[in-house]
Amino acid sequence: MWYTPAQEFMRGRGIDAWLVHDFRSSNSIFAALLPGKRFLTRRVGLFVPASGEPWLIASHIDASSFKGVDVPLRKYLTWGEYHGLLAEAVKGRRQVAMEYSPGCDLPVVGIVDAGTVEFVRSLGVEVVSSADLIQVTVARWSAAAVENHARASREVAGVKDEAFNFIRDSLAAGREVTEVRVQSRMHEAFTRLGLEWPDGPIVGVNGHAGDPHFEPTPSNTSPIRKGDWVLIDLWARRPGEENIFSDITWVGCCGTPTDRHMKVYRAVKGARDAAVKIAQERWAAKKPVQGWEVDDAAMGVLRGSGFGEGIRHRTGHSLSPGPKVHGVGVNIDNTETHDTRELLPGVGFTVEPGLYFSDFGVRLEINLWVDPAKGPVITSCVQEEVLRLA
């Protein structure tokens, strides 16, 4: 059953139940647990006990939206009845998980409004975060998703190669090439391969590579010339929200890289490799590792390199099923947030440290998945040397 992993996790952590509260489709976790297109206008709750059968709480007016859902439904009319059903659900329980983050340390989990959390607390229970429950249910990759991600990773790597080769060939032939033209070529390749992508890719030359989220347009595009530094970040997946994006970033130089280029590149590469090392070593030692610890390993290398002023973001983000490139599982982050979620079996994430300056930037992005048998494994192509484009 879809709720079995959640119940096993709750029993292992001493959590008595999970209350997934939604109002007008504000809770994406509710929609992920009970997929389907629904028009919900009132408060609803999905109650998952640590043992026993889950059940739904919904208004009479929304009840028809749950036809065909194999979860018992309790209906309410008045606000008092709704409160009563919540009280009945948590009666006799000590800890109840909700989409709540203490101090909003994890904004991606801080979904339920403060008033609802206050009300549940007033019923005499301790509200704890559902952050890791989300990981073992919504963020885990299915077997099919693992296979489709592997295929997408091969295809995205091929598109990356096509893009850099297009730059290389254009420069060799003396043809004009711009950031937006390279982006357009990648769009054509994605379409040819049947991949889907929501935006991007990023193609940034020199100072544009120093902007982590620069995206070329016809009005801001720059030419790519001999001697220039180029960063390309691209992401795409096999169609369907059940599938996982392949999200990678590589860099190249249209000539001989400067000493500064290479020092920054080596610092970023060292940070990337340090992040992978701690994740894999902890797994091998059968010791848990949290997202913030992996970020610290990478950031320690970046700061130790003497280029710490170029840090602009965390080390990585979740890769999970759903509508967004940035998923709902653990982020590799102790920079923007303090992510205490563990790298649990079945979840995926990026490792993408970067350093950014006014004249250029370096980001090296790879993807990992926590294989339940092998631990964190790299699923994407990995850059080991600066690409030479001229």
Cβ 202 vs Cβ 180: under 8 Å: no
pLDDT of residue 1: 85
The whole-angstrom separation of Cα 206 and Cα 52 is 58
Mean per-residue pLDDT over the chain, rounded: 98
Q: Render pLDDT for 12-34 as a digit per residue (tens, 0 to 9).
A: 999 999 999 999 999 999 999 99
Q: What is the mean pLDDT of residues 228-243?
A: 98
Strand partners, 44: 22
pLDDT of residue 281: 99
pLDDT of residue 346: 98
Q: How many helices (H) and strands (E) does the chain have?
A: 9, 16
Give Cα separations from 336 to 315, 356, 361 (angstroms): 10, 16, 20
Query: Does the pLDDT at position 175 exceed 90?
Result: yes
Cβ 86 vs Cβ 123: under 8 Å: yes
pLDDT of residue 37: 86
Query: Does the pLDDT at position 276 exceed 90?
Result: yes
pLDDT of residue 313: 98
Query: Does the pLDDT at position 74 exceed 90?
Result: yes
Q: Determine what percent of the chain is predicted with pLDDT higher than 70.
A: 100
pLDDT of residue 117: 98
The packing angle between helices 114-122 and 79-90, to 10°, is 60
The whole-angstrom separation of Cα 209 and Cα 324 is 23
Fold of 4-139: Creatine Amidinohydrolase; Chain A, domain 1 (3.40.350)
Give 218: exposed, middle or buried? Use CB within 10 Å, 0-12, 13-18, 19+.
exposed
CATH 3.90.230.10 domain locations along the chain: 143-388
Strand partners, 246: 236
Q: Render pLDDT for 109-168 as a digit per residue (tens, 0 to 9).
A: 999 999 999 999 999 999 999 999 999 999 999 999 999 999 999 999 999 999 999 999
Q: Render pLDDT for 327-363 as a digit per residue (tens, 0 to 9).
A: 999 999 999 999 999 999 999 999 999 999 999 999 9
Tokens 């992510």 label which residue? 339
pTM of the prediction? 0.95
Residue 36: pLDDT band (50, 70, 90) is confident
pLDDT of residue 133: 98
Q: Render pLDDT for 308-334 as a digit per residue (tens, 0 to 9).
A: 999 999 999 999 999 999 999 999 999
Strand partners, 230: 205, 252
Residue 272: pLDDT band (50, 70, 90) is very high
Fold of 143-388: Creatine Amidinohydrolase (3.90.230)
Q: Render pLDDT for 207-230 as a digit per residue (tens, 0 to 9).
A: 999 999 999 999 999 999 999 999
Query: Does the pLDDT at position 171 exceed 90?
Result: yes
CATH 3.40.350.10 domain locations along the chain: 4-139
